Amino acid sequence: MAFQDKNLACAECGNQFVFTASEQEFFASKGYTNEPKRCPSCREARRARDGGSRTQRQFYSATCARCGGVAQVPFQPRGDKPVYCSDCFSLVRAQSGPSGGSGYR
Ligand SMILES: [Zn+2]
Ligand SMILES: [Zn+2]
């Protein structure tokens, strides 16, 4: 089946945008039967908004160097520093004093 470029109206801003033949083919290959409701720029803006809150605070899972439990840390563990879970981190920090290098952030 041949696809043809199609003009659609964006549900968000009302602008006309082209639902191109190749996009239609892509949609069809994915099994989508509905047409896009938003123009590319509104889709982009929407994705940026959604992604913004999701990537705001990324946590990584690591193994706590003290208790061996799962530690959730706000940075990518590099292996050159011990990683602690939040419980152990406060214990370790209390032991090493306020001036001891934390490496937590
Ligand atoms: Zn739009
Ligand atoms: Zn721990």
List the shell of residues around ion ligand 1, using CB closer than 5 Å. Answer: 10, 12-13, 39, 42
Question: Could you tell me if residue 91 is inside a domain?
Answer: yes
Q: Cα–chain-centroid distance for residue 86?
A: 23
How far apart CA 48 and CA 8 sit, in angstroms, is 22
Question: Could you tell me if residue 83 is inside a domain?
Answer: yes
Does the pLDDT of residue 53 top 90, yes or no? no
* 27 shares its domain with 44: yes
Q: What pLDDT sits at residue 50?
A: 77
* 64 shares its domain with 89: yes
**Per residue in 27-65, is it b (16+ CB within 10 Å) or e — as a string?**
beeeeeeeebebbeebeeeeeeeeeeeeeeeeeeebebb
Question: Could you tell me if residue 65 is inside a domain?
Answer: yes
Q: What pLDDT sits at residue 73?
A: 86
Q: What are the residues facing 81 on neighbouring strands?
A: none
Mean pLDDT for the stretch of residues 28-51: 90
Does the pLDDT of residue 54 top 80, yes or no? no
Mean pLDDT for the stretch of residues 56-82: 87
Question: Could you tell me if residue 50 is inside a domain?
Answer: yes
7 Cα–ligand 1 center, Å: 13
54 Cα–ligand 2 center, Å: 26
Q: How many domains does the chain have?
A: 2
| Pair 61, 81: CB distance under 8 Å | no
Question: Could you tell me if residue 101 is inside a domain?
Answer: no
| Ligand of minimum distance to the alpha carbon of 69 | 2
* 49 shares its domain with 69: no
Find the domain containing 12 and state its range.
6-54
75 Cα–ligand 2 center, Å: 16
Question: Could you tell me if residue 1 is inside a domain?
Answer: no
Question: Could you tell me if residue 34 is inside a domain?
Answer: yes
* 64 shares its domain with 50: no
How far apart CA 88 and CA 80 sit, in angstroms, is 18
* 49 shares its domain with 70: no
80 Cα–ligand 2 center, Å: 17
Does the pLDDT of residue 30 top 60, yes or no? yes
Q: What pLDDT sits at residue 42?
A: 94
